[in-house]
Every structure is written in structure tokens, then in C-alpha cells.
């Protein structure tokens, strides 16, 4: 076997091990310990709440046990935001790598 092939094989093995050790849940921004989904408020309730507060919600989904929202804040910032699914409390708001808000402890 030639050296180039062995180097590629070794690199692939190391990459596989490295990625296998990364948790598969969430993007890593925020993780909620919110209990079973049966105790959560609905995404529709969150979307309605945010709309009343002046947000424009483009997409909402579950990520890391939190509600992740892509939208525009009342101030006009296009953001990715995380909310606790039981309390609907805002936990994190970010824009293109910039943290606009992060609740203490998250």
C-alpha cells in the first residue's frame, strides 16, 4: 500500500472517531432540560406570543429540547432564538455568530 492511501485511511478513521464523540442532539447553542414533551406548551402558542410582541416568525422547531425560532425581532434583527418549551421564556438570541441575548445559566 502506498503512503498516500494509508494517510487518507488514517485521516478518515480519526475524523470518524472525532465526529462520533460529538453529541447528536441540538446545534450546541442551547440545551433545555424541559422534561417530557407532554408538559410543553405548543409551538403555535409560542408563535402567537412572539407575533403579539412584534416578532415575525419564519420557522419554529425543536432543537436540543428547546424551541428554536428563526425570525425577525421587533427591532428588525433577523435572528435565531431559543425558548424554553414549558415557560416560553427567551433563553438565547443570536445573529450570524453574534450573541444578542443569553439568559444567565444557558
Q: Please tell me the total count of domains within the chain.
A: 1
- Of 103, 32, 38, give the one whose Cα is nearest residue 68: 32
Q: Is residue 20 part of a domain?
A: no
The contacts of residue 1 (CB under 8 Å, 6+ apart) are none
Q: Is residue 11 part of a domain?
A: no
DSSP string for 1-67? --HHHHHHHHHHHHHHHHHHTS-SSS-SS-------GGGSPPHHHHHHHHHHTT-EEEEEEEETTEE
Instruction: Tell me which residue range forms the domain holding 42.
Output: 26-102
In this structure, what are the phi and psi dihedrals at residue 32, rounded to the nearest 5 degrees?
-105, 140
Q: Is residue 18 part of a domain?
A: no
Per-residue pLDDT band at 21 (split at 50, 70, 90)? very low
Q: Is residue 4 part of a domain?
A: no
Encode pLDDT of 47-92 as tens digits: 999 999 999 999 999 999 999 999 999 999 999 999 999 999 999 9
Q: What is the pTM of this model?
A: 0.73
Q: Is residue 47 part of a domain?
A: yes
Amino acid at each position: 500500500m502506498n503512503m498516500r492511501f494509508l494517510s487518507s485511511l488514517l485521516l478518515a478513521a480519526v475524523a470518524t472517531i472525532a465526529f462520533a464523540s460529538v453529541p447528536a442532539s441540538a446545534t450546541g447553542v442551547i440545551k433545555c432540560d424541559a422534561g417530557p414533551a407532554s408538559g410543553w406548551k405548543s409551538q403555535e402558542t409560542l408563535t402567537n406570543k412572539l407575533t403579539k410582541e412584534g416578532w415575525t416568525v419564519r420557522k419554529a422547531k425543536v432543537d436540543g429540547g428547546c424551541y428554536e425560532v428563526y425570525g425577525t425581532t421587533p427591532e428588525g434583527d433577523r435572528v435565531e432564538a431559543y425558548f424554553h418549551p414549558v415557560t416560553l421564556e427567551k433563553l438565547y438570541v443570536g445573529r450570524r455568530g453574534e450573541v444578542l441575548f443569553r439568559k444567565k445559566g444557558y
